[in-house]
Amino acid sequence: MNYRRRTGAGLVSGAAALALVLAGCGDGDGGDSDSLTVWIMEPGNPEVQATIDGFGETFEEEHGVSVTIEYVPWPDAHTQLTTAIAGGQVPDVAELGNTMTPEFAEAGAFAEVESPDGAEYVDGLAASSVVDGVNYGYPWYAGARALIYRTDVFEEAGVDVPQSWDEVLEVGDTIADEVDDIAPIHVAGAYQHMNQPLVWGAGGEIAAQQGDEWVPGYDSPEGHEALEFFVELWERDWSPEGAVTWNSADVREAFANEQSAMMVGGGWDLRVILDDNPDLDGNVGVALMPAGPGGSRDVFAGGSHLAVFEESENQDLAKEFAEFMIETEQATEFADQIGFLPGTVEGVDAAVGGDPLFGVFGEQFVDHSRAYPVAGWWGSVEGTGAIPDEFQKLMLGDVTVPEAAANIDAALAGAIG
């Protein structure tokens, strides 16, 4: 009796174990379709992180699935994505800087995605996820830098907002003469997103695609003109010596400390400036980037894509999640918190519509922004820092404009391969 009961219990527990194993198997195949792993760049702000977590929870509830959001620090992002792809341990969805998308897409890491019905993307951001005519990313949020300036200083000097490079120099000279203790504008050797787009303003290209070939574009009349304008700004002695190693944060800090009357920056910069120095509230204006001699005001559309991994077992759900994230409601709330703009035109309008200050960033982004060369090799150019290096050497007087242009083109050609 005793023996039998024991056997019975053993059978029951054995069956239960077997059932668990089977259920486990079921979880392995079908269960994956109920769970998503998402990598998001660490926003460095608990409130913003809570917002993203909240989106995840909303999606979980609406779809009856489980979403795990993991935060990756920006500086580690490239390495972490590389190792994940190499080791085959990829998430289902990942946020990545839009200049990284082509590199990983070319390596075959991402699934092809389509835009949701009726969504109109901002060209500059959307363009950087299209490799060989195939789209590999959802434009999530981005920003474009415009001219941030001091209205009070401009008033004191009696000048208007510059509309062209020549006017920047003229207005700058007047400010230097009329207003004490403030530099008209600072240049910065390591601020590549201010310096690189100058070539577009001059009417040139960083590199142009001709058929299947990429042709570097700095060693051209337009490229030289861009570099010469940069040198001209530097040689006016408006920027301190240390600006050779300055980056965007240093430029922003100097502006917030009332050391300069103009700067190139985005909405996120303006937020920090007003937070750091509330006295500036009401004395700051935003204008479109002054046009170069080529007539273009284009700046770099910098931001993030959401990409779905080719190896995700759950591509459909992953795409649904990405589409959910870029919907106007979510994208606007999130972008607003971090001072960026959503990747859709509707989102941009919702985010800044009518705001006289931040609205300009929206106009700059939608109408006057573009992508860096959309190709896998671009990542390696950013990795070497070859372009900012030449800007720094120009400032140090180590190279001439033609030498710098030739060096940049050589670096580009080397990366193109």
Partner 1 sequence: MSTTLRKGGRRSPAGHPDAPPRARRRWSAQKLFDDKLLPLLLVAPAVVVIAGLVGYPVIRTAVLSFTDAAGLSALTGGEINFVGLAQYREIIGDPILRRSAIVTVVFGLACVAGTMLVGIAVALLLNRKFHGRGVLAVLVLLPWAIPHVAASYVYKWLFNDQYGILNWALTQLPGVDFTGFAWFNRWYTAFIVIGLVVIWQSFPFVSIALLAGLQTVPSEVIDAAKVDGASAWQQLLLIRLPMLKPLLLVLVVISTIWNFKIFDQVWVLTEGGPARQSEILAISVYREAILQLDFGLGSALAMVLFTILILFTVVYVRMAREEQP
- 13 CB neighbour count, 10 Å cutoff: 10
Tokens standing for residue 327: 């919907």
Minimum distance from residue 339 beta carbon to partner 1 (Å): 25
Minimum distance from residue 253 beta carbon to partner 1 (Å): 9
Minimum distance from residue 60 beta carbon to partner 1 (Å): 32
Three-class SS state of 96: strand
8 versus 240: smaller Cβ distance to partner 1: 240
Tokens standing for residue 39: 């990598």
212 versus 241: smaller Cβ distance to partner 1: 241
CB-neighbour burial class of residue 353 (10 A; exposed 0-12, middle 13-18, buried 19+): exposed
31 versus 383: smaller Cβ distance to partner 1: 383
Minimum distance from residue 341 beta carbon to partner 1 (Å): 28
CA dihedral 100, 365, 69, 377 (to 10 degrees): 0
223 versus 379: smaller Cβ distance to partner 1: 379
189 versus 217: smaller Cβ distance to partner 1: 189
Minimum distance from residue 250 beta carbon to partner 1 (Å): 9
* CA 348, 350, 351, 352 torsion-angle sign: positive
317 versus 374: smaller Cβ distance to partner 1: 374
Minimum distance from residue 1 beta carbon to partner 1 (Å): 55
Minimum distance from residue 411 beta carbon to partner 1 (Å): 11
Minimum distance from residue 150 beta carbon to partner 1 (Å): 19
Rounded to whole angstroms, the Cα distance separating 322 from 184 reads 43
* Contact of 107 with 311, CB cutoff 8 Å: no
Amino acid making up residue 185: I
For the chain, the C-alpha Rg in angstroms (whole number) is 25
350 versus 415: smaller Cβ distance to partner 1: 415
**Cα angle 198, 199, 204; round to 5:** 150
Rounded to whole angstroms, the Cα distance separating 139 from 348 reads 12
Binding site for partner 1 (CB under 8 A): 78-79, 82, 85-86, 103-104, 107-109, 189-190, 240-242, 244-245, 254, 380, 383-385, 389-390, 392-393, 396, 398
Amino acid making up residue 214: W
Q: CB neighbours of 232 closer than 8 A, spacing ≥ 6?
A: 169
* Contact of 307 with 140, CB cutoff 8 Å: no
| 328-341 burial: b if 16+ Cβ within 10 Å, else e | bebbbebbbbbbbb
366 versus 394: smaller Cβ distance to partner 1: 394
